[in-house]
Chain A
Amino acid sequence: MSINEAQVSTVDQEMKKQPRRRQLSDRSIVNLFIWPALLLLIAMNVFPLFYSLYLGFTDYSAIARQQPVWVGFQNFSRILNDEQLWKYFATTGRFALLSVGLQTLVGFGLAMLVNEKFKGSGLLTTLILIPMMISPVVVGLFWKLMYNPTFGFFNYLIGFTNPSTAPDWLASRFAGTPVPGMALWAVVIVDVWMWSPFVMLLVLSGLKAIPDYLYEAAAIDRASAWFQFWRITLPQVTPLLLIAVLFRTIEAFKAFDLIMGMTGGGPGDQTELISVNLYRQAFLGQWRTGRASALAYIILIIIIAISNLYIRYLNQMKGES
């Protein structure tokens, strides 16, 4: 036995003599980190998700001292056969389409603008981002004042100074005459003002990532600016643009605080989006928890379906590239 072997053997014997310490295995440490978070997630997200699904099949009010009564698909059936709710779904679709469409155009344009290097472009980028940092309720209340036909400056900016002949945007009237859809447009304008910077931010990161040599090569081939935009810029930015559109579409379907702050769903039900109506059914004196849960799931399914379409298209684009 060499000296080294003898030393190792002595250490082993000493270790065996010592009382065995309780040591946490790697697996236990992993579990200790994962399980608290997982349990919290289960308690706060997963359980409410499944519990609300269950409530969707019941006649239940959260403020009534009654157990939920199982009614099967009755809530879903009534919702899907309710013409009024389909009207709200249609309004939500119109809002999402107009809002996201305009945000995409404006956001893309702004990104192209601030991507150019000029004096103060950094400051301008920061200023453009400010609207999306403000609470939607505050934005709604500010714009409510700005749209006011007597002292708001929006009408003044577009050339109307006499309140009697000016548009009353949130009342959906022009010079006192009802104009259907005007209030929805008013809300869309605010949503575009608020969230175009978000689209701009994502598109800008895409624009910055386009290698310069692509443009240099195109310039050598004497490609026009339009050709460069159409064949280089747009294809390179599209994946990020689609992600921005995906996020904004989901948010547009859930739009609530801005609408409540500005119109409360009115006038009539011109701006009654489905999420606003969901709130109305779940709270505001109605407390129809079972029906509201069912409606929430229908909205969730629609959002998942739309998201899947986007993701599928995104994956298809990745495959092609």
Chain B
Amino acid sequence: MKIKYLLVLTLVFVLILSACAQPTQAPVEEPAAEEPAAEEPAAEAPAVSELNILWAQWDPADYLQQVANMYEEETGIKVNVIQEPWGSFGDRFFTEMAAGGDAWDMVVGDSQWLGQGATQGHYIELTDFMASKGIDKSVTPATLTYYGEYPTGSGHYWGFPTEGDADGWAYRKDLFEDPDEMAAFEAEYGYPLDVPKDYNQLMDIANFFTRPDDGIYGVAIYTQKDYDAITMGVENTMFSWGGDWHDENNNVMGIVNSPENIEAVQFYRDLYECCQVPGLSNAFFTETNDAMIGGQATMIMNYFAFLPALASSDISEYADVTGFFPNPAGPKGAPQHAALGGQGMSVISYISDERKQAALDFIEWFAQEDIQTKWAELGGYSCNSSVLQTDEFLAAQPFNPAFAETMTFVKDFWNIPEYGELMEITQRHLSSFIVEGVGTAEETMNAIAEEHDQVLRDAGYIE
């Protein structure tokens, strides 16, 4: 009897172990080559009747579903946009990919996932497909680089820029256009009060409108430590000061702790110290929007994807008097830059050749200018360069002109598989310096540079 039970137990253990085992596959060192089947022409009759796209749960995913319904009307192929809450979006996607799962045919994934998607073989390469269909020329170069290309600058594409997004600003037009405020500002600073053209002007305006006795403050900027918020906020200034996270050879020493970056980080801390709405020591998009809706902030930083709430009179009583502007220029003549958000659409490599072809057909259809126009009309942030310049798009929403301008100068954090480790380092040090008030900008950037250097050396990016 005991032997019987022992056998049953062993069998159960073996079953569990085999269920939990990873698929045996050698680690993928190089970006996976494009599947030959992806290049083949579509079959005469659609062999695939349904496609699944994974995306985060938010309004743009609903808009994509509406566009996908049009595709079904045209082709008979049903496209489902499966939405996963932001908090578990990455977890769900990557655990499925680790198992080589084919639950979805496409994913609208974060720009920072490109490295993992490409090097670990989750995505198929789209370079030839996008070039042959002219898709690579239809989107703004910056979005193609950051939503599609890996490694950056290599000319290898893994995603179609789908939902553009970047940091911009919202401001209180009623305060900016108040004659008394304008006169007082000009008298104090010697130039007229207007949307800031550079960060020095932004600092002046923030200082001018910081009036604790009236319950109003200059800015609400990102400070959250949890994941990537404070890094995204700070890199807006870093890039605009002419700084960067690395050079073309992935070197970080002397780059991360460059004088430009140190000055930019000091500026962000000064802005936080002088003019941040009190209590926003762990703030991201919700908190900065709330500061504007609550009438506490004169200017707020936020991703364009979250700005519609501020233009909605159902949500904000200041909706009619809220204006929007892109990141101002740096103080030393460096071009304007904005931290990138948004996602690109990639095709999963673990699906059948027929499904890959069907997915590519959908992307080809979706990338057409008239469909992109429709996508933008619904509320999606198209990356199509022509659509971004149309009068219809620019007039559709009050923040669209600022968005269209911003999408020409976006820049991103690292997108290599080790980005999570690099991000943890920047979050910890930047939060410590800016929010906690510990150390100097130079010490902070030196510490980040040293730790980044170590991570990159361990991962083999620097010899």
Contact = CB atoms under 8 A, between A and B. Distances in A.
A164 B211 CA distance: 10
B160 to A, nearest CB: 23
B16 A47 contact: yes
B436 A268 contact: yes
Contact of A285 (B16, B24, B420): B420
Nearest to B20: A51
Query: Which applies to chain A's interface (DSSP): helix, strand, loop or mixed?
Result: loop
Contacts of A68: 22
Interface stretch (B35-43, B127-135, B232-240, B276-284): B276-284
Given A43-B12, A163-B278, A168-B281, A65 B225 contact: no
B28 A163 contact: no
Interface size class of A (residues with CB under 8 A): 35 or more
Given A65-B121, A268-B428, A286-B420, A150 B279 contact: yes
Contacts of B228: 285
Interface in B200-232: 212, 215, 224-228
B437 A178 contact: yes
B28 A65 contact: yes
Contacts of B435: 171-172, 266-268
Contacts of B282: 144, 170, 262-264, 266-267
Contact of A267 (B91, B116, B281): B281
B112 interface: yes
Interface in B277-306: 277-279, 281-282, 296
B226 A264 contact: yes
B20 A285 contact: no
A148 B279 contact: yes
Interface residues of B, number: 52
Interface stretch (B92-100, B143-151, B330-338, B385-393): B92-100
B102 interface: no
Contact of A65 (B25, B91, B423): B25
Contact of A152 (B212, B279, B296, B428): B279
Contacts of A284: 226-227, 420, 424
B419 interface: yes
Interface in A177-196: 177-178, 180
- Between A171, A268, A286, the greatest number of chain B beta carbons within 10 A of the residue's beta carbon is seen for A268
Given A178-B438, A268-B435, A67 B279 contact: no
Interface of B: 5, 9, 12-13, 16, 20, 22-25, 27-28, 90-91, 94-95, 97-98, 100, 112, 116, 120-122, 212, 215, 224-228, 273, 277-279, 281-282, 296, 417, 419-421, 423-424, 428, 431-433, 435-438
9 contacts: A63-B94, A67-B22, A148-B279, A260-B226, A267-B281, A267-B282, A286-B420, A287-B420, A288-B421
Given A178-B437, A272-B428, A285-B420, 5 more contacts: A47-B20, A172-B436, A262-B282, A266-B281, A267-B431
Interface of A: 31, 35, 39, 42-43, 47, 51, 62-68, 144, 147-152, 162-164, 166, 168, 170-173, 176-178, 180, 260, 262-270, 272, 280, 283-288
